[in-house]
Amino acid sequence: MRVKSLMMTILGVGLAGGAVMMAQEQLRQSQVAADPTIVSVVAVAEAIPFGTPIEGYKLTTIDWPADSVPAGVFTNFDDVLPASGGEPRRAKRALAQGELLLESKVSDFGEKVTIVQTLGENNRAMAISVDAQTGVGGFVTPGDFVDIVLTRGRNDELRAVTILQNIRIVGVDQTADEELDQPGVARTVTVEVTPEQGQRLALAQKAGQLSLSLRSLQTADDEPLEAIRLSDILLEKSPVADGAPKPVVKVRRGTSDIQEVPVAGNATRTN
């Protein structure tokens, strides 16, 4: 009997809590309806990965100033969710909790979602072969930006040149989810390029080995980079950054005159 009474109490508390929440939501909606300067818009209640269906429990509504509602925003769940038995809309990109749900971010009802929907206007998706060394050890994931470096030649003629800069990764092997945070060694990376960049990339794959250089999150202006030859790095001395302190020795001349003399070569001898 105690167990039954406890279960009934828990059920009653749950129903009461649900009734209170429903009443609060109805009150909020009535307040919004009474205030013409506020609009109720649809937002993401929990993260929705790329390509997954848009379902009711993943959505919520928030109040928004009527004079600043973004274009393409949904104001009614019926415009987002399918009719009973119908095909759902899907996320055309990873959706974060709290962001507004826009028409540009979701597919039509029943529409198939692929990486094509993530490409910019008139851009292309192109795959290149990589391994652990050329693919930044597997730390490249969809959504990252990279530079692409071509290495070609043999022996003393070996050289490297950056052929493309600030290129977006749209897929790693068969994965296009930008929320992917588990690195793995990929064999194929798909990048977003313009038609002209695609031609350059196709030639570069035949000419030599391609490597990816993962860019930081800090934005910076790209500048043309000159090709580097093997002879440029096989120096007689290791390079020293400008402004770095140079080694010196102190030389006593006479009884009180002490001078500092820069070290030249491997050593400086004094008698």
* Ordered alpha helix ranges (H), 127-248: 195-207, 230-233
Answer yes or no: is pLDDT of 196 > 90. yes
Out of 1.10.3720.10, 3.90.1210.10, 3.40.50.1970, 2.130.10.10, the CATH code matching 37-113 is 3.90.1210.10
The pTM score is 0.55
The pLDDT tens digits for 170-186 are 888 766 555 555 555 56
CA dihedral (133, 137, 138, 142) in degrees, to 10, reads -90
Residues 81, 87: Cα–Cα separation, whole Å: 9
Average pLDDT for residues 155-162, to the nearest whole number?
86
Q: What is the predicted pLDDT for the residue at 43?
A: 92
pLDDT at 161 over 50: yes
Structure confidence at residue 154 (pLDDT): 83
DSSP letter string over 127-149? EEE--TTTTGGGT--TT-EEEEE
Distances (CA, A) of 261 to 132, 173, 246, 255: 48, 59, 10, 17
Cβ–Cβ under 8 Å, residues 210 and 188: no
Query: With helix as H, strand as E and coil as C, how does 43-64 read?
Result: EECCCECCCCECCHHHEEEEEE
Distance, in Å, from the CA atom of 172 to the CA atom of 80, rounded to the nearest integer, reads 30
Q: pLDDT value at position 44?
A: 92
Which band of pLDDT confidence, cut at 50, 70 and 90, is reported for residue 73?
A: very high
CB 132 within 8 A of CB 101: no
The token duo for 244 is: 């770095």
Find where tokens 């030639």 sit.
203
Please answer whether residues 160 and 149 qualify as being in contact, where contact means their C-beta atoms are separated by less than 8 angstroms.
yes
- Give the model's pLDDT for residue 28: 56
Checking if the pLDDT of 270 tops 50, the result is no
**For residue 199, pLDDT beyond 90:** yes
Phi, psi of 92 (to 5 degrees): -85, -10
What pLDDT was estimated at residue 266? 47
Whole-number Å distance between alpha carbons of 164 and 79: 42
